[in-house]
Structures are given as C-alpha cells and as structure tokens.
Amino acid sequence: MAAAPAYDLVANLGDVVGYGASPNEVIDRSRELGKIFVRGNHDKAATGLLALEDFNPLAAASAVWTREQLSAEHHQWLHDLPHGPVGLDGVPQAQLVHGSPADEDVYVVSIGDALVPLLAVSTPLTFFGHTHLQGGFFANGSSADGFRPEYRTVGQAESVSLQLKPNTRYMINPGSVGQPRDGDWRAAFALFDTDAQVVHFHRAPYNLKSAQDRILSANLPSRLATRLAAGR
C-alpha cells in the first residue's frame, strides 16, 4: 500500500483468499481498504460454493486448508460476496468482474477469449481478474489486440500508464497482489484515473521471504511458496 499513489476507493476483483497462509488477516485488511468486491473462484471454493474437481491438486489442497482456517465471520463474508459484474458509482463507463462479464469462471488470456465480451458488452471498460496476468485487451472499429505493461526493472517499484482512447472498448486486468503469474514476482495492481482516462499499472516489491515462510510454516505445499519468487 505504501507504493500506491493517492486514491479515492479500492475495488477487489476476487480471490481474496486461495494460496496464502494468512486468509483471515487478508480478509480483514481487504475489508478495511474498501467495500467494492466481486467474488472469485477461490473465494467460492473456500466456502463450499464451488466443487474442487476442476482445481489442480495444489489449488484444491489450499482451498481445503483455507476453509479450515477461516473464522465463522470471515467464512460468511466470503460466502456472501457478490457475483459480477458490479458497477462503480459515479463511473458508468466501467464495470468489475472476476472472469468475464458473461461467466465469472472463464479465463480471458488471449484476444480470442476477449473478443466476444469486448464486442457483446455495451460497457466500454471492464476490469477483470482471475488470470493473475497484468494487462488486457482492446477493440475498436478497425482493430483488436492485447497489451502488457513493459517495465524497466525486476525489483523496484514502477508504474506504466495506458491512455484510454475514445470509441474503444477495453478489458483490463490490474494483476495480482499476492499471486502474479506473468513472470514478475512483484505485487501487481492498477489505478484508474477517471478524470484523465488513464490506467496506471503498478508493480511493487514486498517481503517475499516472509510470505514464503508463513506458507511453509502452515504446512501448505512448498510449491505455493517457491512459485512466488518466479511469479508463476
């Protein structure tokens, strides 16, 4: 949070819990930051709303462990998180989802995945999560493509800006604070400047070893700790 610029509100795009060793603490911190949430598949799995058959063994083991650790209050709060899309008061051009506007559990990882929702949804700007990949997709009358922020370092706090263009639809993923999958270990998030119509992508280093040590101390699969260093 120290790396974040000034902001007016915080939105969480789901998977509040899922792989880390501090689910109750993360829920408390997330609730302190803001009240705008959409549920993720790991939130559903941890509260019994989603079966684990389609999860890989690491994710399934983490979901079961998380379910056992959650306080009754936190379990109920996760269980009651809203299904996306969720709107933003005062920002009618934007909506929040976990997977895609049509299906909260769909992975949007390529322009092929994004093209249908980009063309089918009237809302010009969709913020989504689920893939843990910072970046996004756009479509206008003449072209459609994907984009990823390009950073200069691998260990410092940095930001990359994207100016939104008129008559263009976007699906934008701010990335994952706790479990990036794009090869960059730093925490990822984004800030949307609604006045300037600019999305600022951010990466911030954090105490990686502390997070790894907590995972190992909890007797969670060691791969959940080691993968943090690779951002995979």
Which secondary structure element, helix H or strand E, spans residue 79, and what is its range?
Answer: helix 72-79
Confidence at residue 1, expressed as pLDDT on a 0 to 100 scale: 86
Q: What distances in angstroms separate CA 203 from CA 78, 107, 137, 194, one per listed residue?
A: 27, 22, 19, 20
Task: Name the superfamily (CATH) of residues 11-230.
Answer: Metallo-dependent phosphatases (3.60.21.10)
Q: Where are the domains of the chain?
A: 11-230
Neighbours of 71 (CB within 10 A): 12
Confidence at residue 30, expressed as pLDDT on a 0 to 100 scale: 96
What is the value of pTM for the model shown?
0.94
Confidence at residue 89, expressed as pLDDT on a 0 to 100 scale: 87
User: Is residue 120 within 8 Å of residue 168, measured between CB atoms?
Assistant: no
Confidence at residue 2, expressed as pLDDT on a 0 to 100 scale: 87
Partner residues linked to 150 by β-bridges: none
Selection from 21, 173, 200, 169 nearest residue 106 by Cα:
173
User: b or e along 155-168 (b: 16 or more beta carbons within 10 Å of the residue's beta carbon)?
Assistant: eeebbbebebeeee
Neighbours of 206 (CB within 10 A): 16
pLDDT in tens, the chain (232 residues): 888 999 999 999 999 999 999 999 999 999 999 999 999 999 999 999 999 988 989 899 999 999 999 999 999 999 999 999 999 888 999 999 999 999 999 999 999 999 999 999 899 999 999 999 999 999 998 899 999 999 999 999 999 999 999 999 999 999 999 999 999 999 999 999 999 999 999 999 999 999 999 999 999 999 999 999 999 9
